[in-house]
Chain A
Amino acid sequence: MQLLTIETTGASASVALSDQEGNLTLEISSDRMNHLQNLMTMIQSVLEKRSLQIGDVTAIAVSEGPGSFTGIRIGVSAARALAQALSLPVIPVPTLQSFVYQEPSGENFIVSPLFDARRSQVYAGAYRLANPDEREELASDGGILPVVEGKAWDVREYLARLAEEADREVRFYGDGTGAYEKEIMECIETLAGRGIRGSIAKPEHRFQRADSVGMLGMERMIAGKMVNYGQVKPVYMRKAEAERKLEEACQK
C-alpha cells in the first residue's frame, strides 16, 4: 500500500508518499506559487527517495480546497490524470480539516485554519480530533469533529462564532493569520476572557502540507471514501467573480 498525496492549495506545494507501516516521505517546494512547474518532479523525487516507481503507488490523495483557485486546479487535474492513467482510486481530502493532523495531540485543541480570500473574507472552519471514546461513531470522517462550519466567511463573523463555540484551546493556521492578525489577536483576547487559551501556530506548522493531508487521506481511505477520477471535484467555496456580478445584476 503506497499513498501518494498532492497538496497545491497554498503558497508552497508539497507531496507525500506514505504507507500503513508508518513510512513517510515528504517533499516541500521552496518556490512559492510555482506548482505547475514543480509538481511532477516532486512526485518523482519522493518515489526515488524510497526506490519506488510510479506504478507502485496504490492510491492518490489530493487536497481538494479551499485555497488558491489555480493551485486547487493544478493538484486536482494532476491527481485525476494520474489516477486515470494508472487506474487508481482517488481520496479527495478537505484542506481545512487536514489541519487536525498538522501537530500531534489534536484532540486537546481546536484547529482553526483561515485562508485569505481578500476583502475581509476568509475560507475558514474550526475542527477537533475526536477523543478515543468519541471516535468510534465518527470513524467514517477520520474522527474529526466540526466546531465551526468550513466555508467562505466574513472574517469578523467567523471569529465571533469561533469565540462562542470554542470549549478548549484554539490554534490558528493558514495565510489568513498574516492578513488578519489584528482580528485574530482580538479573538484570542476574547477567548482569554472566557479562560480559553488561543495562539497562532508556529511558522513550521502554519500552512497546509501534504503529510497532514495524507494522514487524513489515509483515514478516509480506510473508511472507504475513495472515488473514481471522474468524481474528484475541486472545492472552491466561492463562485467566479463574473458569475457573482451577473447574479447580482439579475437580482436588481
Chain B
Amino acid sequence: MKQQILTLAIESSCDETSAAVVRNGREVLSNIISSQIDVHKVFGGVVPEIASRHHLDNINQVVDQALLESGMTLDDMDMIGVTYGPGLVGALLIGLSTAKAFSLAKGIPLVGVHHLQGHISANYIEHPDLEPPFLALIVSGGHTSLVDVSGYNEMKVIGGTRDDAAGEAFDKVARVLGLGYPGGPLIDRLAKEGNKDAVPFKRVYLEKGSRDFSFSGTKTGVLNYINSEKQAGREINKADVAASFQQAVMEVIVGKAVEAARDLGRDKIVLAGGVAANSCLREMLTEACHEQGLKLYCPSLLLCTDNAAMIGCAAYYRYQEGLVDDLTLDAVPGLPLGSV
C-alpha cells in the first residue's frame, strides 16, 4: 500500500482560478488562487463570458505554480480532483476540461467534487481533529444552506435559500449604498462604525419550524428605507444602515443554525463559504454556540474563499470510498448537494 496519496486539485466554478496539491487529504502543499475580482469590479458583478476567458488565460500557469510550490511534478500525482458543479457552466468547464486532459495524459483517476462539499472540507484542512457528524452552515455569494453532514460523503441539505442568497443581498445593498462590489466585505467593514440597532429591519423566519432562508424581504426593506429617507430629505447614516442590515440577516442565519444543530442532536457546527469571513457572523455564531454548548469550527480567511485545496481534500475522501468518475464527467451548473 502506498504511503501517501497526492492530489492535484482544480477549482474554477466562479471568479477564482485555483490549483492545489494536497497530501493525504488534509495536508496542503500548495494552494494557488488567481482572483478575477478586479476584472469584474467595473461591471458590478461576475460576467460569465469574461470569467470563462480569464479562467482559460490563467489555468495552466496556476497549475504550474501549484506544482512548483509543492515541489512535485504532475508525474508524482496519484489523482485529479476537480469541481464539476454548481457554478457558472462556462467557468466550470475550463477546470474540468483541463482536469480530464491531465487524467487521460497521466492515466490517473479523476474525481469530480461538488463545490459545497469542497467548502465544508476546508474545515478538515483547518482542524485536524474534525470528523463527521456535524451540522454545516454554508454562507457564500450564491448559497445559504444548512447541511447535515453524517459522513465524509454523506450529507443532506436541510435548509436553503428560497430567493436571494445572503451574498447576493449584501451585493445589492452595497450597490444601493454606493459602496461598490463585492458587497460582503464592504458592508462588514462599514458596519463596524455603525449602530446595529439603529434601524429595525425585518427578520424573516418563514413558517414555524422551517430551516429555509429568505433575504429578499430584508433587502427590500433596506431599499425602501433608503428611498423614504431620501424623499423626506433626511441624510442617511450609511454605517447604521449597514450594521442594522447585517444584524438582521445574521441573526436569522445564526438562530436557524443553532436550532437545527440542537434538533438534530449535533454537537458541532462547521461554518463554510465565502461569507464565513464576515466578522459579524463569526462573532454572533461564536457567542450562540458558546451559550448552547456547541463546538464551532471556522476555516481561516484564505480557506473561506473559493480555492482548490478544499476541493483536493473533498476529492481525497471521495476517492477513499471509491467514488471515482470517468472521462465523460460533465459540468453541472445546478448540481444538488448530497447526490453522491
Known: A40-B328, A246-B42. A73 touches B93 (CB 8 A): yes
A45: min CB distance to chain B, Å: 11
Return the CB mask of A72-88 against B: 1 if under 8 Å, else 0. Answer: 01101110111011100
Are A78 and B97 closer than 8 Å at their CB atoms? yes
Known: A69-B49, A246-B42. A78 touches B101 (CB 8 A): yes
Which of B42, B64, B97, B107 is A77 in contact with, Cβ under 8 Å?
B97
B43 partner residues in chain A, CB cutoff 8 A: 242, 246
B102 partner residues in chain A, CB cutoff 8 A: 81, 84-85
A104 to B47, CA, bound (A): 43
A240 to B64, CA, bound (A): 27
A241 partner residues in chain B, CB cutoff 8 A: 49
A217 to B81, CA, bound (A): 32
Is A43 an interface residue when CB atoms closer than 8 A count as contact? yes
Which of B56, B61, B97, B104 is A36 in contact with, Cβ under 8 Å?
B97
Are B60 and A80 closer than 8 Å at their CB atoms? yes
Are B328 and A41 closer than 8 Å at their CB atoms? yes
Is A243 an interface residue when CB atoms closer than 8 A count as contact? yes
Return the CB mask of A220-249 against B: 1 if under 8 Å, else 0. Answer: 000000000110001010001111001000
Are B105 and A77 closer than 8 Å at their CB atoms? no
Is B90 an interface residue when CB atoms closer than 8 A count as contact? yes
B275: min CB distance to chain A, Å: 25
Are A81 and B97 closer than 8 Å at their CB atoms? yes
B60 partner residues in chain A, CB cutoff 8 A: 80-81, 84, 229-230
Are A240 and B97 closer than 8 Å at their CB atoms? no
Task: Specify the chain A residue showing the minimal Cβ separation from B97.
Answer: A77
Is B203 an interface residue when CB atoms closer than 8 A count as contact? no
Is A38 an interface residue when CB atoms closer than 8 A count as contact? yes
A4: min CB distance to chain B, Å: 11
Offer 25 A-B interface pairs, CB within 8 angstroms, sorted by A: A36-B93, A36-B331, A37-B329, A37-B330, A39-B97, A40-B100, A40-B328, A44-B327, A69-B49, A69-B52, A70-B52, A73-B56, A76-B56, A77-B59, A77-B93, A77-B98, A77-B101, A78-B100, A81-B99, A229-B60, A236-B53, A240-B47, A241-B49, A242-B43, A242-B50
Contact residues of B: prevailing secondary structure: helix
A44 to B105, CA, bound (A): 10
Task: Specify the chain B residue showing the minimal Cβ separation from A57.
Answer: B105
Is A52 an interface residue when CB atoms closer than 8 A count as contact? no
Are A73 and B94 closer than 8 Å at their CB atoms? yes
Task: Specify the chain A residue showing the minimal Cβ separation from B328.
Answer: A37
A73 to B51, CA, bound (A): 12
Which of A41, A44, A84, A240 is B53 in contact with, Cβ under 8 Å?
A240
A243 partner residues in chain B, CB cutoff 8 A: 50
Task: Specify the chain A residue showing the minimal Cβ separation from B99.
Answer: A81
A139 partner residues in chain B, CB cutoff 8 A: none
Known: A69-B52, A77-B98, A242-B47. A82 touches B104 (CB 8 A): yes
A81 to B100, CA, bound (A): 9
Tally of A-B residue pairs with Cβ under 8 A?
A: 95
Task: Specify the chain A residue showing the minimal Cβ separation from B94.
Answer: A77
A74 to B95, CA, bound (A): 10
Task: Specify the chain B residue showing the minimal Cβ separation from A70.
Answer: B90
Are B93 and A74 closer than 8 Å at their CB atoms? yes
Which of B47, B105, B329 is A82 in contact with, Cβ under 8 Å?
B105
Known: A36-B93, A74-B97, A240-B47. A81 touches B331 (CB 8 A): no
Is A54 an interface residue when CB atoms closer than 8 A count as contact? yes
B104 partner residues in chain A, CB cutoff 8 A: 40, 43-44, 54, 82
A229 partner residues in chain B, CB cutoff 8 A: 60
A54 partner residues in chain B, CB cutoff 8 A: 104-105, 107
Are B105 and A85 closer than 8 Å at their CB atoms? yes
A81 partner residues in chain B, CB cutoff 8 A: 60, 97-99, 101-102, 105
Known: A37-B328, A77-B98. A240 touches B50 (CB 8 A): yes
B277 partner residues in chain A, CB cutoff 8 A: none
Question: Would you list which residues of chain B between 179 and 206 have a CB under 8 Å from chain A?
Answer: none
B331 partner residues in chain A, CB cutoff 8 A: 36
A77 partner residues in chain B, CB cutoff 8 A: 56, 59, 93-94, 97-98, 101
Is B285 an interface residue when CB atoms closer than 8 A count as contact? no
A187 to B52, CA, bound (A): 37
Task: Specify the chain B residue showing the minimal Cβ separation from A76.
Answer: B56
A202 to B158, CA, bound (A): 56
Are B96 and A36 closer than 8 Å at their CB atoms? yes
A55: min CB distance to chain B, Å: 8
Are B106 and A85 closer than 8 Å at their CB atoms? yes
A246 to B49, CA, bound (A): 14
Question: Would you list which residues of chain A between 6 and 60 have a CB under 8 Å from chain B?
Answer: 36-41, 43-44, 54
A73 to B97, CA, bound (A): 9
Question: Would you list which residues of chain B between 71 and 119 have a CB under 8 Å from chain A?
Answer: 74, 90, 93-94, 96-107
A69 partner residues in chain B, CB cutoff 8 A: 49, 52, 90
